[in-house]
């Protein structure tokens, strides 16, 4: 299969494609930490997912600022927004995944224990968190200043 140079360039210029590439790296890092904490170290669901997400978020900020959104904004202007969006998405995504797993899993797989429930919730939470984070980071954290000025001038 031959992929043309222009097709590759279009994909590389697409912010969502770049976000997905960064997301794959962050997900591998974050889920590895999460699953090691849950299954090897025996830590609680919330501590495991928090540690995985904090470590993944550090990588995410650096790669998303420079590669995904190509933001020229200062760290001072973006880091607090990034951390806020990341925290809000984390609580919503993993909280919702935990509730859904807790309510549905016993009905779907009655023999599944808490470890299976936590692992499936962590996996589902990761997917939801990635999707929510893309839009939050794009619209809030790394939104180009020209867009912000245009919107405020329209009012």
Give the residue extent of every domain in the chain: 8-145
Q: Which residue has the higher pLDDT, 146 or 45?
A: 45
Q: What is the pLDDT of residue 15?
A: 73
Average per-residue pLDDT for the chain: 86
- Among 61, 93, 95, 92, which Cα is nearest to 78's? 61
pLDDT, tens digit (0-9, with 9 covering 90-100), for 61-92 = 999 888 888 888 899 999 999 999 999 999 99
Cα separations in angstroms, 27 against 4, 62, 87, 107: 28, 15, 16, 28
In the chain, the percentage of residues whose pLDDT exceeds 90 is 55
pLDDT, tens digit (0-9, with 9 covering 90-100), for 86-114 = 999 999 999 999 999 999 988 988 888 88
Length of the chain: 155
**For the whole model, what pTM was predicted?**
0.75
- pLDDT tier, 153 (very low <50, low <70, confident <90, very high otherwise): low
Cα separations in angstroms, 134 against 1, 35, 96, 99: 30, 23, 18, 23
Rounded Cα–Cα distance for residues 29 and 120 (Å)? 17
Q: What is the pLDDT of residue 68?
A: 83
């Amino acid at each position: 299969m031959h992929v043309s140079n222009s097709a590759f360039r279009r994909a590389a210029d697409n912010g969502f494609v770049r976000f997905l590439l960064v997301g794959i790296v962050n997900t591998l890092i974050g889920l590895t930490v999460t699953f090691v904490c849950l299954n090897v170290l025996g830590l609680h669901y919330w501590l495991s997912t928090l540690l995985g997400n904090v470590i993944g978020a550090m990588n995410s900020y650096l790669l998303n600022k420079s590669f995904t959104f190509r933001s020229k904004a200062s760290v001072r202007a973006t880091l607090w927004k990034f951390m806020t969006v990341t925290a809000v998405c984390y609580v919503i995504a993993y909280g919702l995944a935990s509730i859904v797993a807790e309510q549905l899993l016993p009905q779907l797989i009655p023999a599944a224990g808490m470890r299976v429930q936590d692992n499936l919730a962590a996996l589902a939470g990761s997917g939801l968190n990635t999707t929510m984070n893309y839009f939050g980071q794009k619209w809030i954290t790394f939104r180009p200043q020209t867009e912000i000025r245009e919107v405020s001038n329209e009012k």
